[in-house]
């Protein structure tokens, strides 16, 4: 974990991991009593970033310029990269390139002390929630690409349980706090419905 948490944030992360093991994921994603919503979202966002980094890391050799010349999530969804500051006009690029841009951009946000304060008592900025929403919206696309284009490799590596657990946790979390627009989730809508039906 490249991110240094203050001890309270570390405790929150431990709390999240402990409640995840309880088996009730809907409950595990809820804001723990007395905790700060921004901090809870920050800690979990960092955790999802690390999980996705690890999951994508297991299939990078299969995600190449040749196999994935465009960043897609099935035949109906294609993404062009723009970060809104350095790159304003969306660039059409390969999936590995897109994901590299995306993960580097997320890492830069997480490393920014003004956005993700790691010290006790330093407040989160007013725009924190909108930044977190953008990060999660973009991270979702990496799951969508892995599911649509690389699920066979994930199966070969016997990583599907790991991927499904991570994605389910991610989806329950964003649903709990309404963090990603429904339209953005469309590439994995069927899977999301399937995950939800078992626990409701
Ligand atoms: Zn790919």
Backbone angles phi, psi at 81, to 5 degrees: -85, 135
Q: How far is the CA of 10 from the centre of ligand 1 (A)?
A: 33
68-119 residue pLDDT tens: 999 999 999 999 999 988 899 999 999 999 999 999 999 999 999 999 998 8
pLDDT for residue 200 is more than 70? no
User: Is the separation of the CB atoms in 68 and 159 below 8 Å?
Assistant: no
11-54 residue pLDDT tens: 777 777 777 766 788 989 999 999 999 999 999 999 999 999 99
63 labeled part of a ligand binding site: yes
93 labeled part of a ligand binding site: no
CA distance 69 to 78: 11
Mean pLDDT of 144-167: 95
Mean pLDDT of 188-199: 82
148 labeled part of a ligand binding site: no
CA distance 15 to 29: 10
111-140 residue pLDDT tens: 999 999 988 778 999 999 999 999 999 999
Assign 5 a pLDDT band (cuts: 50, 70, 90): low
Look at residue 2 in the predicted model and tell me its pLDDT. Answer: 41
Q: How far is the CA of 198 from the centre of ligand 1 (A)?
A: 29
Look at residue 150 in the predicted model and tell me its pLDDT. Answer: 96
Assign 6 a pLDDT band (cuts: 50, 70, 90): low
Q: How far is the CA of 199 from the centre of ligand 1 (A)?
A: 30
């Amino acid at each position: 974990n490249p991110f240094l948490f203050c001890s309270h944030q570390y405790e929150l992360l431990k709390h999240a991991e402990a409640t995840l093991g309880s088996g009730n994921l809907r409950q595990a994603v809820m804001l723990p009593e007395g905790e700060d919503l921004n901090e809870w979202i920050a800690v979990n966002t960092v955790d999802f970033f690390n999980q996705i980094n690890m999951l994508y890391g297991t299939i990078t050799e299969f995600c190449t310029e040749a196999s994935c010349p465009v960043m897609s999530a099935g035949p109906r969804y294609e993404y062009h990269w723009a970060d809104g500051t350095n790159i304003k006009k969306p660039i059409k690029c390969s999936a590995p390139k897109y994901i590299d841009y995306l993960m580097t951009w997320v890492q830069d946000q997480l490393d920014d002390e003004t956005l993700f304060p790691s010290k006790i008592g330093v407040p989160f900025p007013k725009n924190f929630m909108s930044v977190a929403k953008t990060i999660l919206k973009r991270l979702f696309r990496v799951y969508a690409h892995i599911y649509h284009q690389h699920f066979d490799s994930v199966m070969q590596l016997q990583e599907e349980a790991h991927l499904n657990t991570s994605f389910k946790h991610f989806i329950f979390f964003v649903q709990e706090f309404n963090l990603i627009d429904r339209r953005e989730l469309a590439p994995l809508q069927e899977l999301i419905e399937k995950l939800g039906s078992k626990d409701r």
